[in-house]
Amino acid sequence: MEEIKKTIKEMATLVGADIKEISLEGDVLYVNLKAFGLTEVLGDMQALLRKIIQKKTGQFYHLNLDINGYKKKREEQLKKAVQVIADQASLLKKQKILNPMSSYERRIIHLELSQREDIETESIGEGEERKIIIKPI
């Protein structure tokens, strides 16, 4: 874990960020940084940092990198918005097709709606065009 913390600190220094939190839960490494103007490159930074850590440690970790709580806020927005869309699909008995999104965001939506008994979700499409359909039951 010390090698991981050192690697994260080096990257944070390079991009002008401060480390708010580093924690390991199972094989998921959570890193929260405080920085200005880096949310646009969050996905790229996460992928790069995951590869560097894997190369240095020889172990694979799922990495959840967040900057200024951006991911957490985005997750909450997605959950609220998708509940409204699911309500519409159920009430109108009409399927709703969401815009293409990342696998991370699709996973959040599938999990958020998985407990509902009035709708079901399905991912369709390929690559960057993959999206979710919300279908009434």
Q: What is the pLDDT of residues 91-116, one digit of tens each?
A: 999 999 999 998 889 999 999 999 99
Distance of CA 92 to the CA centre of its chain: 30
**Residue 37: predicted pLDDT:** 82
- Whether 136 has a pLDDT exceeding 80, the answer reads yes
Neighbours of 68 (CB within 10 A): 18
- Mean pLDDT over 120-126 rounds to 96
**Residue 41: predicted pLDDT:** 87
C-alpha to C-alpha distance for 121 and 67, rounded to whole angstroms:
29
Neighbours of 19 (CB within 10 A): 16
| Cα-based distances in Å from 136 to 19, 33, 100, 109, 119 | 44, 40, 20, 15, 4
Q: Are 125 and 100 in contact (CB under 8 A)?
A: yes
pLDDT tens track for 55-85 = 999 989 989 999 998 888 999 999 999 999 9
pLDDT tens track for 21-64 = 999 988 889 999 999 888 788 888 999 999 999 999 998 998 99
122 burial via Cβ count (<10 Å: 0-12, 13-18, 19+) = exposed
Domains recognised in the chain with CATH numbers = 2-68 (3.30.300.20), 72-136 (3.30.1370.50)
**Residue 42: predicted pLDDT:** 85
**Residue 103: predicted pLDDT:** 87
Reported pTM: 0.73
**Residue 114: predicted pLDDT:** 96
DSSP code at position 19? E
